[in-house]
Amino acid sequence: MGSAGEYQPLLLGLDSHSQIPGLSSAAIEEFLDHQPVAVRWWPRLVAWESRLLWILSGSSIIVSIFNYMLSFVTLMFCGHLSALELAGASIASVGIQGLAYGIMLGMASAVQTVCGQAFGARKLPEMGIICQKAIILHLGAAVLLTFLYWWSGPILIAIGQAEDIALQGQVFARGIIPQLYAFAINCPQQRFLQAQNIVNPLAYMSVGVFLIHILLTWLVVYVVEYGLLGAALTLSLSWWLLVITYGLYIILSPKCKETWTGFSWNAFKGIWPYFKLTLSSAIMLCLEIWYNQGLVLISGLLSNPTIALDSISICMNYLNWDMQFMLGLSAAASVRVSNELGAGNAKVAKFSVFVVNGTSILISIVFSAIILIFKVGLSKLFTSDSEVIAAVSDLTPLLAISVFLNGIQPILSGVAIGSGWQAVVAYVNLTCYYIIGLPIGCVLGFKTNMGVAGIWWGMIIGVFLQTVTLIILTARTNWDTEVEKAADRLKKSAEIPDSLTDV
């Protein structure tokens, strides 16, 4: 460790607010290594990290929200067809599409880990190879999942859903089969670009496709009157528009000329080490996402399943909307942590974790207040049925609690993804969600008179326990060791000829 005099230029830089944004991560790493850091520097360091975080997360949040809003808007239109069609679309969206969403999103988190660390280490050509590996594996998963979509009706009936709801769900699920393949390509595309801190173009494209989607869905549902199937096919078309625009940007943009060098057979080499990380990533997020989806499916087994499904689906849509906001922040946290670990800046990575968690907690307090204030108005966007509106209003206190917990849990999961801890977190999710939370929810929902509220309390307990475990895991992390692990992971996952690694 150097003397105080060696750090004088950096201290002078911190004294000037105008120079703070220009400080590099390496300079901040050096400063944080010079212990102890005086209290007066922390606000300025937080401002430095917050600026980098919001440059990434602002656009990432827009991308996450507007991509999710494609399904959100589709369900809103379906809800105004009839309560039965809303229930069918909801059960397909949650039970079938949600299953695929969990697998694809989970697999894509491996792209965030390895591409983010490759970018931090300036191993740029590896990023394009990793993206291609991911697309190959995602398309393989999509082929297998197609059978689930096509036979969704009998599957939903087999797990206890009402036949009329299951048949409507099958109509919707078959209409979104093309979306499954679009999602398989779009997930790696998006993570590949985010790992390079390319986020603003993604936001513009996502907003543009969302506006087109609203117009097309209105035309198909209300003007042409193609109903539930038309709404599903329109959703699929909108996702393919995303794939095409993202793909054109990757191929044509000068910003990707070093990371995307064209399609290569090298994508098939060393695919096994990457597949293992992909598998653990998929298991980690699938267990997390399916937990929420499973609670909706269980609600369909209660008495008066249409009201139960509609009310919890509406609440889950708002919870998912909040989740998309936090996933955008989580994606930014993942990129920040993976970039800094790849660059060898252990202390900056740790500092970024603290800043992003504090930010997300403050945001979640605001969101929880909004939920409690506008609880009746939120349900009227989906339905005019008075029973459903009343049921939604009864659930809003639980929704507010869940929104607050979402201010912590997804961010810690993003940190885990950026650090490559997917396998460990998979065990945490399995225990907290399925061994503890889900059984408690079933007991409260079916063995008491709590109904849907009891099922939701089980979810809250599981999420709370998982959040506490992730906090302990993060607090006990040796970030210097994580830097070494990042270098080893990149070497194994991006196995390509040495000639391509000279950058």
Residue type, 469: T
Where is pLDDT greater, at 477 or 23?
Answer: 477
Interval 419-425 mean pLDDT:
72
Judging by beta carbons within 10 Å of its beta carbon (0-12, 13-18, 19+), is residue 448 exposed, middle or buried? exposed
Residues whose CB is less than 8 angstroms from the CB of residue 3 and which lie 6 or more positions away in sequence, other chains included: none
251: pLDDT strictly greater than 50: yes
- pLDDT at position 8 is 43
Q: Which residue has the higher pLDDT, 20 or 46?
A: 46
Q: What is the CA radius of gyration of the chain?
A: 23
Q: Is 12's pLDDT higher than 60? A: no
Q: Is the peptide bond before 397 cis (omega within 30 degrees of 0)?
A: no
Using the structure block, give the residue that is written with the tokens 């309390």. 457
What pLDDT is recorded for position 491?
66
Instruction: Scan for tokens 């992909």, then name that residue.
Output: 278
* Tokens coding 272: 């096994």
Q: Is the predicted pLDDT of residue 480 greater than 80, yes or no?
A: no
pTM: predicted TM-score of the whole model, two decimal places: 0.74
Closest CA to 104 of 31, 1, 184: 184
Q: How confident is the model at residue 4 (pLDDT cuts 50, 70, 90)?
A: very low
How do residues 485-500 score in pLDDT, each as one tens digit? Answer: 767 766 665 554 343 3
Angle between helices 83-92 and 42-79 (to 10 degrees): 130
Lowest mean pLDDT among 15-24, 134-143, 409-418: 15-24
**Residue 160 pLDDT more than 90?**
no
**Amino acid 9: pLDDT:** 46
* Residue 500 token pair: 């391509």
CB 357 within 8 A of CB 412: yes
Helix 177-195 / helix 98-120 crossing angle, nearest 10 deg? 20
Confidence of residue 245 (pLDDT cuts 50, 70, 90): very high
Using a 10 angstrom Cβ sphere, with 0-12 exposed, 13-18 middle and 19 or more buried, the burial of residue 122 is: exposed
Confirm if 319 and 175 have CB atoms less than 8 A apart: no
Number of helices (H), then strands (E), in the chain: 21, 0
The winner for highest mean pLDDT among 180-184, 227-231, 479-483 is: 180-184
Measured in Å, how far apart are the chain's first and last C-alpha atoms? Answer: 31
8 A C-beta contact, residue 466 and residue 409? yes
pLDDT for 301? 67
pLDDT tens digit sequence for 300-329: 666 666 676 677 777 777 777 777 778 778
Read off the pLDDT band of 367 (50, 70, 90): confident
Round the average pLDDT of the chain to a whole number and report it.
Answer: 79
Using an 8 Å Cβ cutoff, are 333 and 411 in contact? yes
Res 257 pLDDT > 70: yes
Cβ atoms 123, 503 nearer than 8 A: yes
Q: Could you tell me the pLDDT band of residue 355, with boundaries at 50, 70 and 90?
A: confident
Residue 300: its pLDDT value, please?
64
Q: What is the pLDDT of residues 371-393, one digit of tens each?
A: 888 777 767 776 667 777 777 77
Measuring CA to CA, how many Å separate 86 from each of 78, 99, 306, 319, 474? 5, 19, 9, 17, 41
Confidence of residue 18 (pLDDT cuts 50, 70, 90): very low
In 3D, which of 488, 432, 426, 493 has the Cα closest to residue 465? Answer: 432
Q: Which burial class, exposed, middle or buried, applies to 266 when counting CB atoms under 10 A from its CB (0-12, 13-18, 19+)?
A: buried
Instruction: Give the pLDDT confidence score for residue 252 in this predicted structure.
Output: 92
- Ramachandran class of 497: left when φ > 0, alpha when ψ lies in -120 to 50, beta otherwise: beta
Secondary structure E strands in 87-202:
none
Residue-wise DSSP of 337-376: HHHHHHTT-HHHHHHHHHHHHHHHHHHHHHHHHHHHHTHH
Taking the C-alpha atoms of residue 335 and residue 316, their distance in angstroms, rounded to an integer, is: 27
Q: Is-contact 353 333, C-beta < 8 A?
A: yes
Average pLDDT score over residue span 100-111:
79
Mean pLDDT over 199-203 rounds to: 89
What's the pLDDT at 146? 93
- Measured CA to CA, the distance from residue 456 to residue 401 in angstroms comes to 10
Give the closest residue to 271 by CA, choosing from 107, 142, 145, 424.
107
Which has more confidence, 147 or 470?
147
Q: Does 199 score more than 50 pLDDT?
A: yes
Is residue 211 scored above 90 in pLDDT? yes
Q: Give me the pLDDT at residue 240, please.
A: 96
B/e letters for 482-494, b = 16+ CB within 10 Å, e = fewer, are bbeebeebbeebb
Q: b or e along 351-384 (b: 16 or more beta carbons within 10 Å of the residue's beta carbon)?
A: bbbebbbebbeebbeebbeebeeebeebbeebbe
- pLDDT top residue among 177 and 492: 177
> Which of the pair, 118 or 148, is modelled with greater confidence?
148
pLDDT at 459: 82
Q: pLDDT tens digit string along 72-83? A: 888 888 877 777
pLDDT (average), residues 119-123: 79
Mean pLDDT of 474-484: 76
Return the minimum-mean-pLDDT range out of 35-49, 175-189, 217-231, 281-295: 281-295
pLDDT score recorded for residue 302: 66
